[in-house]
Amino acid sequence: MKKKWPKPRARKLNQQKVSVFLNKIGFEPEKISQEWRHLIAFGKYKNKPSVLKLASTKKTSRHTRNEHYWNDVIKEYSQERELSFIVPENYSSGEYEGLFYFICERFFGKTLDKQKSYPLKKIAKMAFEIIMMPKPSIAPPNSQARKRKVPIGDKLLESATEWASQVPRPTDKYLKIISDARHNLKTAPAHGDFTVRAMFLLKDKKIGLIDGEHYGFNGPKYYDPAWFYLRMRLEQNELESANKFLYEFKILLPKPAQEIFWQELEPVLTQRFIGHLWGAKNNNEELNKLEIMGKEMLENKII
């Protein structure tokens, strides 16, 4: 049976051919690499330090267009109100052999996952600012413009159920959390990959946020806080920082929202947690580690 929520695929691009193309469009490459779904080139464009991001498949191109769109949306929004973060300025975009690419501003320095400490108050404020964003005035790409056919709660349950069916551990209690809440879930804007790996601490002390390819205006409410918590706790091994982040984010909310924060966060966090179980389905050691967090979730001990 074809899976609706599989792991995304990539295609290895010929870097020599891409390099010739880059020179034709006026991009002077210094370094070209491809770790997964995108080929990334660092260099100069119109004498500006720049990054070129090229999708490796047409399916990935949808996400690449979306990141280009996200950069424009935030740039426009930041003209209306001051934000605690910035995104790269888009310089150009186009297609290479039917694959979308864009060229944008390059941020320098280390991403926050390589720092000794994390500015959690500032990161929490970023997440809050994103959730509070109004609907963009810029027309979205086709992938964002489509009307949602499946309610957000049903979509979370559908994806979690497919992943859980492949996990060699009991998952019924986790699925029940999502099922019970699915009719009451709300939507809100989300960056979509809100992690310290996507954040640069810049010279002006602002945070530069990249990799907005999964941005959505009608995503699950509190998706970014849930994702940040999971990645901070499980991949950075920073439980204290993960808990501190949720606290800093929660106190930014209005009092009524604070009172139901866990109620609204829990099903979204649970869906992301099941995704982690699915990713570790062949690793018993990692599954054992995840079950410690799962027990805390079932006992309502996260917050």
Note whether 245 and 112 are within 8 A (CB).
no
Please give the sequence-ordered ranges of beta strands (E in DSSP) within the chain, or none if there are none.
Answer: 27-34, 38-45, 48-55, 85-86, 90-96, 99-105, 187-190, 199-201, 207-209, 216-220
**pLDDT value of position 208:** 97
What's the burial of 173, exposed, middle or buried (CB within 10 Å: 0-12/13-18/19+)?
exposed
CB atoms within 10 A of CB 69: 22
pLDDT digit string, tens, across residues 170-205: 999 999 999 999 999 999 999 999 999 999 999 888
pLDDT digit string, tens, across residues 80-111: 999 999 999 999 999 999 999 999 999 998 89
**pLDDT value of position 141:** 78
Q: Which CATH class is domain 15-105?
A: alpha beta
DSSP state letters, 35-99: SSSEEEEEEEETTEEEEEEEESSHHHHHHHHHHHHHHHHHHHHHHHS--SEE-PPEEEEEEETTE
pLDDT tops 90 at residue 55: yes
**pLDDT value of position 275:** 97
Q: Where are the domains of the chain?
A: 15-105, 112-298
Cα separation, 83 vs 285, whole angstroms? 41
| CATH 3.30.390.50 applies to domain 112-298 | no
Cα separation, 263 vs 270, whole angstroms? 11
Q: Do the first three CATH levels of 15-105 and 112-298 match, i.e. the same topology?
A: no
pLDDT tops 70 at residue 75: yes
Q: How confident is the model at residue 132 (pLDDT cuts 50, 70, 90)?
A: very high
